[in-house]
Amino acid sequence: MFNEENFHLPLLPIRSAAKLLNISVHTLRMYEKEGLIIPFKKESSHRLYSNSDIERLKCIRSAINESKISIAGIKTIYSMIPCYEIVNCTQTERENCSAFKNHSKPCWNFNHKDNPCQTRDCRSCSVYNNYSECGRIKELIQNIISQN
Ligand code: SF4
């Protein structure tokens, strides 16, 4: 069982993560290539997964298998997370950000230049980290709607 303290710690090698999720290593790599997940990479380039990553992957698997949402659909859902509100981008930063104008992939899929995300580490960013569970994305959108 995990707690808040170890939830984001990269602990599991790729084979263990795949086994826990009952999927192949190839599938896990494909999710990474598609930009759905950013595993922690050791200097040896071996990947490690946290419990937070496992929760994100469970959400992805459930969206694919139970809700029949495609990978492109999941990327669109992630693109709806209002990162610019969460990291407090100014109007000018929004205007210069490709992710702000795009609705087909998550902000962490972009090669950011000339905006604050250029130097941010997506894996430790609250946008990427705090919405690993499907319920959190829905909750976030509901909160934004109720504030307007
Ligand atoms: S640092 Fe990465 S995850 Fe965070 S808002 Fe920027 S692109 Fe998105």
The DSSP letter of residue 30 is: H
Of the candidates 90, 116, 119, 117, the residue with the CA atom closest to the CA atom of residue 106: 117
pLDDT in the model for residue 44: 83
Tell me what pLDDT residue 3 has: 66
Asked whether residue 1 is assigned to any structural domain, the reply reads no
133: DSSP letter: S
- Do residue 62 and residue 86 come from a single domain? no
What is the domain range of residue 38?
9-69
Do 81 and 50 belong together in one domain? no
Q: Say what percent of the chain tops pLDDT 90.
A: 61
The CB of 108 under 6 Å from ligand 1? The reply is yes
Which of 120, 129, 132, 140 should be mutated for ligand 1, with most atoms under 8 A from CB?
120
- Predicted confidence (pLDDT) per residue in 97-112, tens digit: 999 989 999 999 999 9
Regions of the chain where pLDDT drops below 50: none
As for how many domains the chain has, the answer is 2
The CATH number of residue 49's host domain is 1.10.1660.10
With respect to residue 3, please indicate whether it lies within any of the assigned structural domains: no
Beta bridge pairs of residue 47: 41
Q: Are 84 and 55 a contacting pair, CB within 8 Å?
A: no
The structure tokens listed for 120 are 């941010």
pTM value is 0.87
**One domain for residues 84 and 50:** no
